[in-house]
Chains A and B, each alone.
Chain A
Amino acid sequence: MTLGLLTVWTLALTLPGTPTATDATDPVGACVAVLQQPASAAAVAGAWNDKGKLLHQAKDLAGATAAFQVAVALNPLHPEFANNLAFLYQLQGLHLLAEYWYGKTLELDGKRAVAHANYASFLQDRAIERTPGRDPDRDLALAAEHLTQSALLPDRDPTVACAQARVAALRNLCVDAATLRDACRKAPQKKLARQKALGELAGLLGDCWFAEGDFDAARKAYQDAESLQQDVAAKVAQLDAAARKSEVPATPDHQLDLQDARGRALQALERLDKADFGPETEKLLLEALRMAPDAGIAHAASGEWLAHHKRFAEAELAWSRALHLGLGDDRLTARAQAGLGRLYLRWPDTPRYAEAAALLAEAVRREPTRPDLRWDLVQAYRHSGQLRKALAQLERYLQSPMAGSPEQRRDAVALRKSLAATLGAAADPLPEEDATPKDRSPEQTAREAARSLAGQDRYADAAEVLRAYLTHAKAGPDLHNDLAQYLHGLGDVEGAMAALRGSLQANDRQPAVHLELGRWLARLGRPEQALPHLMRAEELGIAVATVERLQVETAPQGQGVRALLADLIRRQDLQDAISSLDDYLDQARQTPPAPDADVKAARELRESLVRRLRQGALVVLAAVILLMLGTLGVLWRRHGGRDLAWLIQHHPETGPEVQRILAGIRHEVLKHNTTVLTGLAEAIAAGQAQAPELAAHARTRLLGGGKDVSVAQQLAGYVRELQQLGQARGVRLNLRRRDRAISALLNGFAELRAVDGPLARVASLGPRAKARLLRHLGEAARLLNADGYEAVRNLLDSLRLLGVDRVVLQGVFDRVRQEPAFASLAIPTLAIAPSVELPVWVLVPRPAFEDILTNLLRNALQSSLAHGGGGRVGLAVETEVSPVTGLERAVFAVRDGSAEVLTTEMLRGRYIEEGIGLTADLVARYEGTLDVREETGAWTKAVVVKLPLAHPPADEAA
């Protein structure tokens, strides 16, 4: 076999710029560099051929094959390229392909000596291997013919005689072989090569003479072989044995041994079938091998035993011997091929997928009804990059009713989907590689080259092969799809997508390609580009494309709140998507088997959409609630809250403070406004010259801008005080909207602010603007002086809270008398002595007044009981008036007859008991006074409370 290759290498390339093996540090890279340069197709093909040779030299058979395939694809008429490709196929055991390309070579150039020699070598190997389905005698005869033709051609190899001698020996033409051996001996070749060639030839001649029964000649030939370093000891031993039994033919004995060995090997196989890999099985195998070392079945069974014991290299050798020796029946041959194929498939560290694929393909051919073999073949094809073949085998696997467990079938379906998506479902699976090589096109050859490279994980080279092809020729969708697959394997997603686009340009009706491209684009975040492909895939009948499309269409837009809002806006779209997913899932249930992964993806998307819709609904609900709460809050802030009357009613203790603030408002805010506003309005209406100056004065005084605090600012300060008063008691005062008095004042100032501009330019106002200004001023005056002032006065009136009469006074005393301390005592009735007409009206809320009087009565009662007063208590009601201010006060004198000494200082001080101390505080709070005075007659002293006297309400006064 070396002959042919060496010859190929010696052919000089005459293409300009073509690199040689020695002029570059990286010869393969150098060839690639040439390939990347613009050149004619012939030049490029030559460079690929060169590259193939270099790769072969580097023992990269697959790479070399791929390169030669490209060379042939680019220039199918060049016999050298075809010859080289054939030779590479031969080296890899791809017999049919090798034979096809040898045939092609000789068809292109029938006078090519090296092609004849190579083909003869191929035929000789087939004959020696006893390849099933072939006739060894015919192959050897054909090999002899081609060698003869080669020997007659001028460019023959000088050592062709050696090859002729070997073939003659194999054909048992011992005399011819001996003659040719002499010619071989004379052929110019290196010493070592000659020695090796002659040694092999001597062995073969020995076999030849042995078979002819010429033991002497055989012995001499074997001796020659031994002298030439050939190991023929076994053969010599056989020859000796045969010589000893010279009367009896050797063959029958050997046949008996073979039968025994075969029987033991079959027993061993039965044990192996029962998973018995123990010593008994081993013993049977050793016996079989000892009896007949050339019994293929013994080696085959040994292979299984060795593989089980993880002695992989020995197993490989055993199976190889078995297949070489032949097993005699298809079932056993298939078993051995499958065993070795599976061994390669699971070869430690670096599985040998291509070899596994070749063996398993043979096994499947022999045993087409075994799905387990087919499944392994699928894996071998798949991992060796022969995806189309893998898909074809997978289809056949799934068609088989015996194809594996449900889980395996599910895996197979998923794999089919994946492969179909990668390859494009529209493309039909390619025929078996060895089936119809004559139909192979340059494009297919390029694809196979690339696939072979990809099978060794050399995706970059595979892609390069396909790209080089595309540089010079148009290709069908499959080649683009292959390119996409390799580029994707390299992580070049953009390149892969470009390849898929190229594929679709060649054939738009590839739903799987549309689907795959759509998926990739979607994952790269290009939904606009993805959608047309996914929709096209749907249109072409891929149901799962709907799921993919919906994934893209319903992808969350943004994150967090933004995404939720987006979902709310397209709520109907999401609901429609859920309906579509329901349809898909229904359909998947009705037409099984739907790929589990697709169904799972659809279910997950549906659940996700439902969840998002629920979240959206919750958000809407929360938003509505928040909106309602917000609206209520605004409404409450605007219209809620309390007025001053409510504050005073529910917190009477605030009365004096409110009164003080209102008095301040009345004094600081309300005074002058009427004068200023009315006077200003009169001046403007009359067109007085001083109107602008008056307006400026009014603005400064009322709204601010001068050095003094404006009235509006004073009002704001008072309003703040009132609100703080309410806040201190947990009351939100809405003075602007709910309090009649304050709101009138605030609105009045708002009216003024509304005409601040016109006020600033009174002199230049036209009649209409002036009229409008006057209307606003009139309204402000009304609000401030009529509504506001009146309301403040009414509010102040309402603070005159309590009319004190006998009922009130007696009621307080009765409650004191019923207290535990007094309930059991005989307490005289309260002696009420009013010197004024009752009721008297005081500016004190009823609870505060009752607290004050209760404490005073209790104190008096205790004092009276303890200090000789007999429990008698009296109450005088009087009034007094200040001669200066004319202010009146109600005077309540609680009398007793006790001897206890009590002074005003004691009353007001803190050293007295707490009850009176609190009373002193209460009295002070309501602008009252607390004194002690001496009494005459039946009474010794009186505790006197003076409280501001109010005038009765209008209806009471009436």
Chain B
Amino acid sequence: MSGKRLEDATVLIVEDGDEYLDNLGRFVHGPHYLQAHNGAQALGILAERAVDLLYLDMRFDRIPRAELLGDHAQATRENNGDPERGWRYLANHQGLYVLAALRQAGFAHLSVIVAYDFSRELARFEFLKQQSPGLDWVPDAVTPDEIRARLLAGIAGRVA
């Protein structure tokens, strides 16, 4: 995908609401945006269409629990045996569960931008990037130009 123009790119936005699609559609013109509201939908789209980049939200607390990816039993165990905390854990980190599902589905090298501020957790990001080499992130406060730059880098396979 090297040298691909932004206008020719397809970006799949995976979020629990519509905010990213709204904002990117309005303020970051060029790519063709697709949208999925959960991990299963995202995998379905990826199975059917060519996607240059996946723009991934981290927290999915507005979708039904049944749509959350991840092992709830495991999450419960890791959260002191509290099932509620287990669900919350899955929702709060759903973006990374989607990322894990992509890897398992063979999309480990897909360019992915996670909308999460890893600036204070760089080691963690590095840990994740080892598993998903196409992973990048944007902070919460980001301008359209910065997003545009990340998208360009992503579709060019030059993620940081």
Contact = CB atoms under 8 A, between A and B. Distances in A.
Interface string B51-71: 000000011000000000010
B141 interface: yes
Interface string A881-896: 1111111100000000
B49 interface: no
Nearest to B118: A886
Given A885-B93, A920-B80, A789 B22 contact: no
Given A675-B27, A885-B96, A886-B128, A786 B78 contact: no
Contact of B124 (A690, A796, A887, A927): A887
B124 A884 contact: no
Contacts of B82: 924
Most buried by B among A674, A881, A883, A908: A674
A697 B93 contact: no
B80 A675 contact: no
A670 interface: yes
A855 interface: no
A671 B144 CA distance: 12
A884 B100 contact: yes
B120 A882 contact: no
Contacts of B80: 908, 920, 923-924, 928-930
A672 B78 contact: no
Given A679-B23, A884-B93, A884-B97, 13 more contacts: A675-B23, A675-B143, A678-B145, A680-B27, A690-B26, A697-B26, A785-B141, A789-B139, A881-B127, A882-B78, A887-B93, A908-B81, A928-B80
- 10 tightest A-B contacts by CB? A679-B27, A785-B141, A678-B143, A674-B141, A929-B80, A886-B124, A886-B127, A885-B93, A679-B144, A789-B141
A244 interface: no
Interface in A914-936: 920, 923-924, 927-930
B115 interface: yes
B8 interface: no
A667 interface: yes
B81 A904 contact: yes
Given A670-B140, A929-B79, A676 B27 contact: yes
17 contacts: A663-B92, A671-B140, A673-B141, A674-B143, A675-B143, A676-B26, A679-B144, A682-B144, A694-B27, A697-B22, A786-B141, A789-B139, A885-B97, A886-B128, A924-B85, A928-B80, A929-B80
Most central of B81, B96, B117, B139 by chain A CB within 10 Å: B81
Given A885-B96, A886-B96, A951-B123, A793 B117 contact: yes
A927 B79 contact: yes
A346 interface: no
B101 to A, nearest CB: 10
Contacts of A786: 141
B59 to A, nearest CB: 5
A679 B26 contact: yes
Nearest to B97: A884
A951 B120 CA distance: 8
Chain B binding surface SS class: helix
Chain B CB within 10 A, most for which of A663, A784, A793, A796: A793
B68 to A, nearest CB: 12
Interface in B78-106: 78-82, 85, 92-93, 96-97, 100
A884 B70 contact: yes
A147 B77 CA distance: 151
Nearest to B81: A908
B96 A671 contact: no
Contacts of B100: 883-884
Nearest to B89: A885
B121 interface: yes
A672 B17 CA distance: 12
B141 A797 contact: no
A666 interface: yes
Interface of A: 663, 666-667, 670-676, 678-680, 682-683, 690, 694, 697, 701, 784-786, 789, 793, 796-797, 881-888, 904, 908, 920, 923-924, 927-930, 946, 951
Contacts of B139: 789
A694 B144 CA distance: 13
Contacts of B107: none
B156 interface: no
B132 to A, nearest CB: 10
Contacts of B23: 672, 675-676, 679
Given A694-B26, A789-B140, A884-B97, A671 B124 contact: no
A71 B140 CA distance: 116
Nearest to B18: A708
Contacts of A793: 117, 119-120
B82 to A, nearest CB: 6
B9 to A, nearest CB: 18
B33 interface: no
A904 B76 CA distance: 13
A812 B134 CA distance: 46
Nearest to B24: A675
In this complex, which of B79, B80, B144 has the most chain A Cβ atoms within 10 angstroms of its Cβ? Answer: B80
Contacts of B26: 676, 679, 690, 694, 697
Contacts of A924: 80, 82, 85
Contacts of B128: 886
B19 A678 contact: no
Which of B27, B28, B125 has the most chain A CB atoms closer than 10 A to its own CB? B27
Given A671-B115, A929-B80, A884 B96 contact: yes
Contacts of A888: 124
A674 B117 CA distance: 14
Nearest to B17: A708
B142 interface: yes
B142 A675 contact: yes
B74 to A, nearest CB: 9
A904 B77 CA distance: 10
B34 interface: no
B159 interface: no
Contacts of B123: 951
B147 interface: yes
Nearest to A792: B140
Given A675-B23, A886-B96, A887-B93, A670 B125 contact: no
Contacts of A789: 139-141
Nearest to A788: B141
A951 B121 contact: yes
Nearest to A790: B141
Contacts of B93: 884-885, 887
A672 B79 contact: no
A299 B128 CA distance: 145
Interface in B1-44: 19-20, 22-24, 26-28
Nearest to A677: B143
Nearest to B131: A883
Contacts of A679: 23, 26-28, 143-144
Contacts of B79: 927, 929
Contacts of B78: 882, 929, 946
Nearest to B76: A929
A785 B140 CA distance: 8
B24 to A, nearest CB: 8
A883 B125 CA distance: 12
Contact of A675 (B85, B117, B124, B147): B147
Given A881-B127, A884-B96, A951-B120, A672 B144 contact: no
A884 B119 CA distance: 19
Nearest to B82: A924
Contacts of B96: 884-886
A701 B28 CA distance: 17
Contacts of A796: 120
Contacts of A673: 141
A797 B93 CA distance: 19
A534 B115 CA distance: 91
B43 to A, nearest CB: 16
Nearest to A670: B140
